[in-house]
Amino acid sequence: MVITLNGDRFELEEPMSVNALLAKLEIDPRRVAVEHNLEIIKRHRFPEVVVNDGDSVEIVNFVGGG
């Protein structure tokens, strides 16, 4: 299956939770915010929200800025 991850095409073997996706990407869930199909997912819902084929996911964090 294919999702759109941070604007780019990204292949996944099967649907998985946001938590599982972050683990697969080696991203610390405490440091990021996640948007799933334009809806912001609260951190406590990371284990229950499932990313399916064709979904769009944005993962953001803080970087230097003014």
- Contact set with other proteins (CB under 8 A): 5-8, 10, 25-28, 31-35, 40, 42-43, 58-66
36 burial class (0-12, 13-18, 19+ CB within 10 angstroms)? buried
Rounded to the nearest 10°, the torsion over CA 11, 12, 13, 19 is 170
* Least distance between other proteins and beta carbon 43 (Å): 7
* Least distance between other proteins and beta carbon 51 (Å): 14
* Least distance between other proteins and beta carbon 46 (Å): 11
